[in-house]
Chains A and B, each alone.
Chain A
Amino acid sequence: MLGTRLIKWPLVQHIYFDHNATTPLDPEVFQTVVACLDQSYGNASSIHFFGQLAKQRLEAARRQLAALIHAAPPQIVFTGGGTESDNLAVLGVARAASGHRHVITTAIEHPAVLSACAQLEREGVAVTRLRVGAAGVVDPDHVRAAISSATVLISVMHANNELGTVQPIAEIARIAREAGVPLHVDGVQALGKIPVDIAALGVDLYSMSAHKLYAPKGVGALYVRKGVHLKPLTFGGHHERDRRPGTENVPGIAGFGAAAEIAAERLQFEATRIAALRDRLEASILARIPGTGVNGAASPRTPNTTNIYFDGVDGEALVIALDLRGFAVSTGSACSSGAVTPSHVLTAIGLSAQRARASIRFSLGTSNTTEQIDALVTAIEASVAHLRRISVHA
Chain B
Amino acid sequence: MPDRPIAVAMSGGVDSSTVAALLVRQGQSVVGLTMQLWNQRRLPELSSDSPSRSGRCCSLDDVYDARRVAEQIGIPYYVVNFEEQFEERVVRPFVAEYLAGRTPVPCTLCNNDIKFDRFLELADSVGAERIATGHYARIGYCEASGRYQLRRAVDSAKDQTYFLFGLTQPQLARTLFPLGELTKPQVRELACSLDLPVAAKNDSQEICFVPNGDYAGFLLAYLKEAGAALPPNYGEIVSENGTTLGQHQGVHHFTVGQRRGLGIATGEPLYVIATDARSQRVVVGGNDALLRDRFFAASVNWISIEPHSQPVRAQVKIRNKHLAAPAWIYPSPSLDRAEVVFDEPQRAVTPGQGAVFYQDDLVLGGGWIE
Contacts and interface: CB of A to CB of B under 8 A. Distances in A.
B58 A10 contact: no
Given A324-B1, A337-B36, A9 B126 contact: no
A337 B79 contact: yes
B195 A339 contact: no
Contacts of A320: 78, 80, 125-126
B78 A1 contact: no
Contacts of B75: 7, 9
Interface string A284-326: 0000000000000000000000000000001011101101110
Contacts of B31: 324
Contact of B72 (A1, A10, A325, A337): A1
A316 B2 contact: no
A387 B121 CA distance: 10
B25 interface: yes
B79 A339 contact: yes
Contacts of A1: 72, 195
7 closest cross-chain pairs (CB), A and B: A317-B125, A339-B36, A339-B81, A338-B79, A390-B124, A339-B79, A337-B63
Residue among B60, B72, B76, B125 with the most chain A CB within 10 A?
B125
Given A338-B79, A394-B121, A4 B127 contact: no
A146 B287 CA distance: 70
Contacts, number: 84
A149 interface: no
A340 interface: yes
B24 interface: yes
Interface in B20-74: 21, 24-25, 27, 29, 31, 34, 36, 58, 60, 63, 67, 72-74
B122 interface: yes
Given A9-B75, A339-B36, A386 B60 contact: no
Interface residues of B, number: 33
B305 to A, nearest CB: 26
A340 B125 contact: no
18 contacts: A4-B195, A5-B73, A6-B74, A10-B29, A11-B2, A12-B1, A316-B80, A317-B126, A318-B125, A321-B125, A324-B76, A324-B127, A335-B81, A337-B58, A337-B60, A338-B78, A339-B81, A386-B127
Interface string B2-33: 10010000000000000001001101010100
B125 A10 contact: no
Given A6-B73, A339-B79, A341-B81, A321 B63 contact: no
Contacts of A324: 1, 31, 76, 126-127
A336 interface: yes
Contacts of B27: 7
A231 B75 CA distance: 48
A38 to B, nearest CB: 30
B131 to A, nearest CB: 14
Interface in A361-394: 386-387, 390-391, 393-394
B245 interface: no
- Name B's interface SS: mixed
Nearest to B58: A337
A8 interface: yes
B238 interface: no
A339 B34 CA distance: 9
Nearest to B123: A390
Contact of A5 (B5, B36, B74, B79): B74
B182 interface: no
Interface of B: 1-2, 5, 21, 24-25, 27, 29, 31, 34, 36, 58, 60, 63, 67, 72-76, 78-81, 83, 121-122, 124-127, 194-195
Contacts of A386: 125, 127
Given A10-B1, A321-B127, A390-B124, A339 B76 contact: no
Nearest to A353: B84
B78 to A, nearest CB: 5
A265 B31 CA distance: 43
A394 B120 CA distance: 9
Nearest to B31: A324
Contacts of A391: 121
Contacts of A337: 34, 36, 58, 60, 63, 79
A4 B72 contact: yes
Contacts of A341: 81
A317 B81 contact: no
Nearest to A3: B195
A243 to B, nearest CB: 33
Interface string A112-133: 0000000000000000000000
Contact of B76 (A9, A314, A318): A9
Nearest to A313: B125
Contacts of A387: 125
Nearest to B120: A394
A74 to B, nearest CB: 42
Contacts of A4: 72-73, 194-195
Contacts of A394: 121, 124
A366 B156 CA distance: 59
